A and B are shown apart, each in its own frame.
Chain A
Amino acid sequence: MPQENIVLKNCGVIDPRQIATFLERDGFQALEKVRREMTPEAVTDEIKASGLRGRGGAGFPCGLKWEGTRKAPGGEKYVICNADEGEVGTFKDRYILERDPFTLIEGMAIAGYTLGAKTGFIYLRAEYHHLFDLLENAIRQIEEFGFLANFTIEIREGAGAYICGEESALMDAMEGKRGEARYRPPFPTTAGLWGKPTIINNVETLMNIPRIIRNGAGWFNQMGTERSKGTKVFSVSGDVPKPGVYELVLGSSLRELVEGLALAKNTKMIQIGGATGRIVPYEQIDTPLTFESVLGAGAVIVFDQSRDVIDIVHRTMEFLAEESCGKCTPCRQGTEVMVETLARFHRGEGLKKDLKDLADLSEVMTLTSLCGLGQAASNAVTDSLQHFKDAYESRVAGN
């Protein structure tokens, strides 16, 4: 399936500092259309019909989220753009923000219109501080042209924690608290930021909104597979000659991306979805890239034959243990235990019983953790135990 620039349509074409260049490329026509012709209900129906799913990692149906928030009782509602982009190996949101902040803001304004919200926030990753001025400038220019009507957009900078990309921790952080996952229910649709119904979406999800409104749900849901519609923007890195950002129609094969576009050779395995993502061995490189199989936030890290699986899994786990907020037992204690165990395997001092303990622990972390970090922390362990069991067995002490 082909490479297709839908989300990235304007990237590299317009000048992100000049709204005029954006207006030349049908900028704000979707927003105008929504305001002139569509009721909030019609907007959520259109998004639902498009089949758009969240691009931030979890793949939750966007239309359902919007509808739930629109219908939730409460006068004050908020829109949040999650631009925390903390997942290991993702840099597609930065690429988008740097090149086309206008479409994103248009998407947020459409969300604002749908909810009757007065305020939207962009939660910007601390390391993306250099984009603050660019975004401010874009918001100011849009305001001057009168496109925002009575919707204001504020930028909130993160303080540098991976967990604060998780939606409930992000809201805690915005409220001035320690950024920690909340238990659910209640979900943000009914009780999000300051307890008010809130739409929170990834940058890329919001980028799709103006396209869907302008071209129609029917146009959008022709692309992709049955349960994964549209395109996905991937960040490819690792052992590839051509790392970078690529947009592909969903359902394209991993091979097309990794070997076709990024020109990888001699690949051993691919980690898809970052630290909490899945590990795909080379034998499965023809896997389609869909929500049904593997996707996450679209981080694709390629490892060639020179890499050691245990080393990679160990370092992934060190990252997650470091970034766990520490609130719930399984994630706080479980990641610590896993780091200890994997470190022993790394040194060639594993025990036979560790293999079962790791598998049991993985399951419990997935079943009982409060948020996606703990629930998915063991993915790399589970997958590597499945596909690279000999790597573990050869590191059992005495072998």
Chain B
Amino acid sequence: MVANGKEIDPVGRQICSPMPACRINLLVLPFQVIAVPIKQSMARKEIENEITLTMNGSPVSGRAGMTILEVARENGIDIPTLCHVSRLPPSGVCRLCVVEVAGSRTLVGACHTPITEGMMVATHSPKILAARKILVELLMASHPDSCLICDKANICELRNIAADLEIGLPRFRARKHYYPLEYENPNIIRDMSKCILCRRCVVACQDLKGERLFSVAYRGFESKVVSGCDQPVDKEACQDCDECITLCPSGALRRPRRPGEERAKKALFIKG
């Protein structure tokens, strides 16, 4: 794994050759790192006490109130996330951001756990990578196999992360949900068969727009993000703000566009 540009193993010793499973960390996309609004997160916190901790063996520091994820990103360490959005409060539901913290019985969610003085964190140990892989395999197990014809295939975060974690055919079997497509609202198409229950849309609608169009209904494996009492999205209430559609990491939410709509107005004549 890479931390501060050095190759190290989970307990912090420098190693010569990275383990194959750790290579994903070399795939850190520049925009993911830059996207961390450092200034904004500083402004959000009232107290600015410096806290020092160890991440993957290297000393790092942060300010009181920062999460493990925020500190990791500031230091160029890429922890995958599916439910987290930096400008929204954490919901901690996907569990993909789990890391090891010395002294903790279980793995710890990086996106919602505040840093503490002297904390020892490992972000890419074999144990963590194996756990993340199984988490994504679990999500894929009930995801419809329709990537080839999915409108969002090229920008799907789930698919991206699955590729990063070198996940092939899912090893687990689960039922798939085939919900009817919801296209009654002119501003949004919802295909809940593809929803991975990250709840970004629920939180975004509430936090960014002050609306509460979406909520989670039913429970366990039957859980579903619904509008109202599992009704079509209200035509009056949904104001075409696109927040949820942009944030949805899967193909579940998209803008209504008929096939070929983009080409409808422009006619292009070329010589045959």
Q: Residues of A at under 8 Å CB distance from B?
A: 161, 163, 178, 183, 185, 321-330, 332-337, 340-341, 353, 357, 360-361, 363-364, 366-370, 375
Contacts and interface: CB of A to CB of B under 8 A. Distances in A.
Interface string B110-147: 00111000000000000100110011001101100000
Interface stretch (B38-46, B148-156, B160-168, B217-225): B217-225
Contacts of B215: 178
Contacts of A327: 93, 216, 223
Contacts of B197: 326, 329, 332
A370 B95 contact: yes
A336 B114 contact: no
19 contacts: A178-B215, A185-B114, A324-B221, A325-B219, A326-B220, A326-B221, A329-B138, A330-B95, A333-B138, A340-B174, A357-B171, A357-B172, A360-B134, A361-B138, A367-B98, A368-B106, A368-B135, A369-B95, A370-B92
Contacts of B96: 329
A357 B216 CA distance: 30
Contact of A368 (B95, B141, B223): B95
Given A337-B138, A370-B92, A332 B220 contact: yes
B266 interface: no
Interface in B206-236: 215-216, 218-223
Contacts of A360: 130, 134
Contacts of B92: 183, 328, 370
B142 A333 contact: yes
Contact of A367 (B106, B142, B223): B106
Contact of A334 (B90, B130, B138, B175): B138
User: What is the interface of chain B mostly: helix, strand, loop, or mixed?
Assistant: loop
A340 B223 CA distance: 17
Given A326-B219, A329-B96, 19 more contacts: A183-B112, A324-B219, A326-B197, A326-B220, A326-B223, A329-B93, A329-B94, A329-B135, A329-B138, A329-B197, A330-B135, A334-B138, A336-B142, A336-B174, A337-B172, A361-B134, A363-B131, A364-B130, A369-B106
Contacts of B93: 327-329, 370
A284 B174 CA distance: 35
B80 interface: no
B208 to A, nearest CB: 20
Which among B109, B130, B218, B221 has the greatest number of chain A C-beta atoms within 10 A? B221
B174 A333 contact: yes
Interface string B168-201: 0001111100000000000000000000010000
Contacts of A368: 95, 98, 106-107, 131, 135
Q: Which of A329, A330, A369 has the most CB of B within 10 A?
A: A329
Contacts of B113: 183, 185
A363 B105 CA distance: 12
Nearest to A320: B220
Given A323-B220, A324-B219, A364-B134, A333 B141 contact: yes
Contacts of A357: 171-172
A161 B220 CA distance: 12
A178 B94 CA distance: 18
A325 B219 CA distance: 5
- The 3 tightest CB contacts between A and B, nearest first, are A326-B223, A333-B138, A183-B92
A282 B95 CA distance: 37
Given A329-B94, A329-B138, A368-B106, A337 B173 contact: yes
B216 A333 contact: no
Contacts of B175: 336, 340
Contacts of A337: 138, 141, 172-174
Contacts of B131: 363-364, 367-368
Contacts of B221: 321, 324, 326, 332-333, 335-336
A362 to B, nearest CB: 10
Contacts of A361: 134, 138, 172
B138 A366 contact: no
Given A183-B90, A333-B174, A375-B106, A328 B216 contact: no
A366 B141 CA distance: 19
